[in-house]
Amino acid sequence: MHAGRWFEMSAEIVLVGLNARYRHTAFGLRCLQANLGDLESRSKLLEFTINERATDMAEKILAEQPSIVGLGVYIWNLPLVQELVSLLRNVEPDLHIVLGGPEVSHEIETQPWLELADYVVCGEGEQVFALLCKQLLSGEKPAMKIIAGTTPDMADLAWPYRLYTKEDVAHRVVYVEASRGCPYRCEFCLSSLDKKMREVPLDGFFEQIDDLLERGALDFKFIDRTFNLSMPFALAILAFFKARLREGLSLHFEMVPERLPEALLAALADFPRGVVQLEVGVQTFNEAVARRISRPLKVAKISANLAALHAQTPVHMHVDLIAGLPGEDVPSFAAGFDRLQALGPHEIQLGILKRLKGAPITRHTKAFGMVYHQAPPFEVLQTETMSFNELQELKRVARFWDLVVNNGQLPKSSALIWQGQDSVFAAFREFSAWLYGVTRRCSHIKLLKLAEYLLDFLLEVRGMSEDVVGPIIVADLSRTGGRRLPRRLQVFQHLLPPKQPLNRSIGLKRQRRHQG
């Protein structure tokens, strides 16, 4: 490091997180820092968002005068990490740069930019990163650049939760982890490579969560790939939080839809509305496609379980479908979408297949004509059964569905798009094409302007009466209050209630919009 710098030295090890947005927190880096042992006091965590400039980040990093910089590399931050690593290497050639994360844990030979790093940790890094830092700070230089991570028992790792700051617990998502691994083999997912299921010791875990609750944490997101594998484990966690309910508490879990015994259904039904959000991975209703990607489907069981969650519990259901899977065409995807929408989820996340590095989905590339974008997020561009134009259109459908329906701000108005139509998907696809034709954009459309576009579509294309549609749109807009209506809707102004303060409950605003 340069001598005589006016910056005060504060950390020899700097862990750098480039998050997608401010509300997110770098959980993996907190796990690394918590397991540095005696070196933790010589480390510092710096978090940025991907909207910041690499030069500004580099300045703040180098202000610490570190010897070691560790960066977590993910699909959403890869281009910015590449730029930042290049900057750091050029400005401080002697800096030890260590990379880890899913984007650098596989296919390393295809990523020439990794030559800029000194070391790459593949897989779980808590134990090997601590050893590497100890070696580097003592003057040793490990011979191997590529370092394989370990799969430790969860009981052998230090808890990271004390590293959440006061600001974190007050304003950001608190990621928590009760287990690692996944027994399923879904080929589009990297978790299919991690065959060893490991759970945390619950007594110690509950002590950590109790401390977070006492410090004011409310927004908890479990990163476990499959929360509902072990029923005693899942039920114990739900019972813990049920006994500690408080205003604004938000719990997010990922679950597989096939496993919903009566005990779990009853436990979920016992929570107040809006507290529990479930991210449910359906992905496809095409059984042949599901078998092809090593995800055998029990369609009847999945349908019954989703219907039961909708009818018997107050949980917020966010259900995933993937377009572009090998062998699935648009009619098949549309049929699956319609089937899912009829089961009553609050949100359908329509995703486009991504080719994650190391994921086994690549084995279908030749047989099914899979062509992927070479830049992040590496989405499929065309397949043997879906053309480039069809997939481009589906991306727009996905974006507009999220903007108009998932967002929950126009619930009754948006349902008019498919009212009286044979297919929800076909009806919304028609609206999506119309809206893109009018705006030539898929984002940055403000709510009031979106409401006007929706009014135009319903009048011009669906042939509905303004006297019917106008009051419904105004009623939707009135749910959050405080907005000045467009002139053409002001005729229905008498339907607006007095101005209401916007709901600012942590982590719940979007979910509460769906509660009616």
Taking Cα atoms as reference points, which of 346, 321, 482, 470 lies closest to residue 408? 346
- 159 φ/ψ angles, rounded to the nearest 5 degrees: -70, 140
Residue that has been written with the tokens 């949100």 in this structure? 347
Query: What residues are paired with 179 via a beta bridge?
Result: 199
180-212 CB burial, b ≥16 within 10 A, e <16: bbbebebbbbbbbebeeeebbeeeebbeebeeb
109, two tokens = 């030979």
Contact between 324 and 391 under an 8 Å Cβ cutoff? The reply is: yes
Q: Rounded to whole angstroms, what are the CA distances from 26 to 223, 405, 419?
A: 12, 29, 43
For residues 352 and 324, the answer to whether their CB atoms sit within 8 Å is yes
Distance CA 404, CA 512 (A): 15
CB contact at 8 A, 507 and 219: yes
Helix then strand count (H, E) for the chain reads 17, 16
Q: Would you say 58 and 91 are in contact if contact means Cβ atoms under 8 Å apart?
A: yes
How would you write 351-365 as a 3-class SS string? EECECCCCCHHHHHC
Give me the residue label for tokens 């978790």.
191
Dihedral (CA of 378, 383, 385, 386) sign: positive
Token pair in block for residue 282: 């359906």
Backbone dihedral angles phi then psi of residue 296, each to the nearest 5 degrees: -55, 135
Tokens encoding 480: 């959050």
Q: Which residues of 81-114 are buried (b: 16+ CB within 10 A; e: fewer)?
A: bbbbbebbbeebeebbbbbbbbbbbbebeebeeb
| Tens-level pLDDT at each residue, the chain (516 residues) | 444 343 455 799 999 999 999 999 999 999 999 999 999 999 999 999 999 999 999 999 999 999 999 999 999 999 999 999 999 999 999 999 999 999 999 999 999 999 999 999 999 999 999 999 999 999 999 989 999 999 999 999 999 999 999 999 999 999 999 999 888 899 999 887 877 889 999 999 999 999 999 999 999 999 998 999 999 999 999 999 999 999 999 999 999 999 999 999 999 999 999 999 999 999 999 999 999 999 989 999 999 999 999 999 999 999 999 999 999 999 999 999 999 999 999 999 999 999 999 999 999 999 999 999 999 999 999 999 999 999 999 999 999 999 999 999 999 999 999 999 999 999 999 999 999 999 999 989 999 999 999 999 999 999 999 999 999 999 998 886 667 888 888 888 765 555 554 444 444 566 666 765
Structural element, H or E, at residue 46: strand 43-49
Is there a contact between 321 and 283 (Cβ–Cβ < 8 Å)? yes
Task: Tell me phi and psi for residue 505, to 5 degrees.
Answer: -60, 135
Question: Any residues with CB less than 8 A from the CB of 465 and at least 6 apart, and which?
Answer: 459
pLDDT at residue 509 in the model = 64
pLDDT number for residue 513 = 65
Q: How far apart are CA 443 and CA 452, in angstroms?
A: 15
The pairing of strands 179-180 and 198-199 is antiparallel
